[in-house]
Each structure stands twice: as structure tokens, then as C-alpha cells.
A and B are shown apart, each in its own frame.
Chain A
Amino acid sequence: MTVTAGAAPARNAGRGKATRTTLGRALNEGLRQAMRDDDRVVLLGEDIASLGGVFRVTDGLAAEFGDRVVDTPLAESGIIGTAIGLALRGYRPVCEIQFDGFVYPAFDQIVSQLAKMRARSRGLLSLPVTIRIPVGGGIGAVEHHSESNEAYFCHTAGLRVVACSHPQDAHDMLRAAIACDDPVIFYEPKRRYWDKAEVDLGRPVDSDTLERAHVLREGTDVTVVAYGPTVALALNAAEVAASEGRSLEVLDLRSLSPLDTTELCRSAAKTGRVVVVHEAPVNVGLGAEIAATVMRHCFYDLRAPVERVGGYNIPYPPARAEDDYLPDLDRVLDAVDRVSAP
């Protein structure tokens, strides 16, 4: 993959210095830079222009880029369908789906059209469309506003599916996604939008950033695999476990499809014990794929069955019950205990 994000020297003059900002602002800056660097980048979504999106991720972009920020009709299939048409015309649309649970009306356009048109045209057509989806629960929202639907899209060939977990990656991965000539489902952990960290907004983006998992904390006893909103939880669990004398390695998957099997297996082989943590229901979730992958490649290195911690196999509950539904510190540490049993 050829990625030029953040690489244009003139654009990055004066950059390279870390600034403390939120994940939401890092995304906003990523969009701004992408639009400055390439006038074929256009944004489509509901309420993204004057309001700046319900999470304000597109704040100020309409003022700078005018009609390249499109307040669309309230029609999710239309957002993706027209993005496909724009891409066929040579543009690089970035779509905002307002909430995870609102992506279903666009499901056909994503899985049957966007994902397959390249193979269907024998490689003649490329659709560089990025679909940003605020994902997950934990913000006390009403129904359809807290879903984790990554498994549907990971199951579809022709899509890349990624999830950012912290401000630096939010910026870098979004730039890489927009620069990518393939369709990318880009998950933004909505309860982390306000998390702050030091971010280098001018950092060149690795050309393979959309395919690589990162070890965020080294450890020797158990690998905790997480992505998106559960990465912070995994890091917290590692901190607490350390105080109890247990060394957890935290792997941020980043790319959900394809999986970075190399990094996953390297870590699993090293610790011999794996716990996968995601918000989506465990049944036929991404954790099952990860467990199967580890079992297939690291069978003789494993010292315990792979454990999964995720949502229960029920619809996402009302907000006042979500704390019991979502993986939390106790459930993660309980799973760590299970895989650590001699």
C-alpha cells in the first residue's frame, strides 16, 4: 500500500511536535490534513457540516472546505451508495455513519456493492471509500446507539476493517484509511472520543499501518488481545495485574480484517495464554476467529484454552444495565485467572 499521509513536507512544516489532544480532535485534524493534501477527499454524512457531526469530529471542516463537506439527506444506504458513485468518478469519499446501529440500512451497499465491485470488475474498479463508524457502548445511550457490529464486516471479503483505540492511532490510521485504495470500515470508540494524549500530528504514517497489530505493553504471563474501546480496559487490567505480581502483555489489534496473524501468534507463543476482550457478543464474534487462529498456529505453545470476554448473547441492554453487560476489569481479570490456572 502506498500511503502518503503526513508525508508532504510543506504541509507538515512546523509539525512533528507532540500536542496534547483528544481522540476526537485527532480525528478532526486527520480529516483536515487529508482534505488539504488531496482535493478529491470529500466528506458525506448526516449533520456533519454546520453542526460538525453529533460528536463534532468534522467540526470546522465545512467552513474551510465548503461543498466538500456534504450534509446528506437522512439516508444511510444513500450515503454509501453515492460514495460508491463518487469513488467511481475519481473522488475519495469519507462517510460518517452517525451511530453504529444506523449502519444496517446501508448494509447491502457495503457488503454487496462496495466490498465486491473491485473483484466483480476483475480489478478494473477501485473504491477508495472510508466509512467512519462511532462504535460501542458505555456512554449511557438509548437503543441502537451502542452496537458492536464489526463481525458482519470482517466476514465480508473486499473490506478492510480497522479500529483505533487512542488519539495517535486515531489520527494516523484515519489518514492511512483515506489514502488506501480499498474500502475501509473505520471504527471510532465513542466512549474514548474525549480521552486525551500526546499526539504527533505530523508523524509519517507507516505504509502498512492498516495491517499491523501493536503491542502496547510488554508482558510474559498472559496476552490480552483487545481493540477499539477495550484497549484502555486491557491496559488497566495489566496495571492492576502487575500489582498482583502478574505480567500481562496487551496487544492492540488495530486491524480487525485482515488480522495481523504474525504479531498475534508471536505474542501468543511467547506467553502461552491468551484472553480476547471485545464488546461484541462472544457468539461468532471476532474473538472466535482469534481463538481459532491462535489454536491453529500456536497449539503446542498454548498452556491453556483461549478465553473470550465480551458481550453476552443478548441484545444490547438498556443503558442502566450496560455496566453489567460490558467487559470490565473484574471480568478481564477473572479470565486471566482462568487461563493462568496451572
Chain B
Amino acid sequence: MKNAIKIIACLFLVFTFTTAVVKAEEWSVPASAKKKQNPYEASTKNISSGKKIYNINCKSCHGDATLGNMLPLQPVAPSDLGSQAFLIQTDGEIYYKVNKGNGAMPTFEKTLSDEDKWMVITYLRSFDQNKKASKKIAEVINPEVNDVRILLDINKEDKRIIANLSGLTKKGDRVALQGIELSIKVKRSFGYLDISGDDAYTNEKGEVNVQFPEDLPGDREGHVDLLVKVTDDAYYGEVNVDRIASLGLPTDPVNPLDERAMWGTRANAPIWIVLSYVGGVISIWGVIFLVLFQLMKLPKLAKTEE
């Protein structure tokens, strides 16, 4: 959440300086395009993958769906894509607008795949109060739980991470939670690398089993910072666990200054070059001074001769 605020704040700054021409003209959609239907079902999986795509591509301007925290752009502010006023449009209409863009709204024709676009529409439809058919269909119904926890089991030999999601029922039993998407991430300098793959949903045992990439570097000892969290905070709030695991490839950072190169620093100069250079300078100046001294002796010599 904190991160999201940061992203929004940062993008807000960027966009307030953007001089994108916002055309306030009407957005006409051809009748044939309006008829298009979303070929994907409104499953929890599709909705949550739509949310992910939304958060990366749309949220920076449109804000969170239904919260109305979009950017106050002039002259036309982006719509709240979770509002009923927006969702009154057909799937085909939204799809067309996402593809074409208009004014400050960029086109996503080539930047998003068809499937991605439909997933976003599926996600937005889950806010629609009028469309009963596309209501959120939970595939598995998990019992009401609290104290949701993720347990990590890390297998170092074959580099597998097994995350187990469970919660405490009212009766006090710890039960596995099924069908929930987890994100398994590895910390890098400027962000988290997602390694969960496409299908990180908990199975009936509440488990997600992920292969850690064979060739992903860690630090000198191969340690990496892992972060496992429930992808969608809407389910149980923020549930996460972090762990330092030695799953990465041990990497010894090379210092380019250690190698000898033309641009290398003085410290890398080979001793014979330093010596012959200094020797050269001393002997050349030495000869010059010697000559000068001899010349200075000349008048004296002349006097003694007399």
C-alpha cells in the first residue's frame, strides 16, 4: 500500500508536468465494436490477474477502481473505472477504447496482449453491480479465518520454495486456504523480482510450489532476500513473510579497476613502467642540469686561465 502511494505520488509529479494534449472531444465507438463480448469467464484467477495488469498499466492515472483517486488531469480527468457510470458500457466499448486511446489516454493496442486487455475488463466487471452474470465467482469457498499465516519450506537441493497458506477458524483449527494467489519475490537493488510464475495459486493443501530460477545470482554466499505474500490484499489484508535463503548463485562482484587497462588508475601501473618512466625523467633532467653546471663553470675557468 505504501509502495502504491509512492508510485502514485511519483507518477502524479510526472504527469502534472506532462503536456499531453487532452482532446475533450466525444469518444465514438463503431456499433460493430460495441458488440464484442469478453471471451474469458469471471473466475477469481482471471480477476486477480486482471488486477495485476491494471495496477501496472492503468492505476497510475485512473487510481484504484471505485476509490475515485485518479489524477486530476486537465481538462478531462481520467474516469474511475470501477464506477457504475463507466461500467454501463459494453465489454466491446471498453475494449475498443483501451485499444485506440484518445487524447491523454494512450493506446494499448500493441503494448498489451488481447488476453491481458480482457483480463483487465474482467477485473473491472467485478465491480459492476448490475451484471449478475459477471459477479465474482469464487471457485473454492474457504472458511472464515483469522490469523492468516504463510509458512515457508525451502528445499536447497533442487531450489524449490514451498509456501503454505493457512488460517485459524473460529473453532481454533488451523486450515489450509485454497485457490489464493501468492507472489514469491526476490529483492533486488531497486525493486522486487517476481518469480512466482503464472500459476501460483494455493492447492487443496494450501501450498504453492515454485522453482527458484537456477541462474539467478545472490550475494557472495548465494543469499537472497525472499518475500512471499498474498498477492491480493483484499482477501486477508497484508499477509507476508520474508526470509533470507541461500538459493541464488554465489557471485563474486568483479571490480573493473582490478584489471589492468589503458584507462586504469596509477595504482594498477606495472612497477617496471613506473621505474623506467621515473628513471627516464631523472636522467633527462640530470643531463640538462649537468650541461648547465658545466656552462656555469666556463667563466670561472676563463678567469683562472688568465
The answer to whether A and B interact is: no
Chain B interface (Cβ < 8 Å from any Cβ of A): none
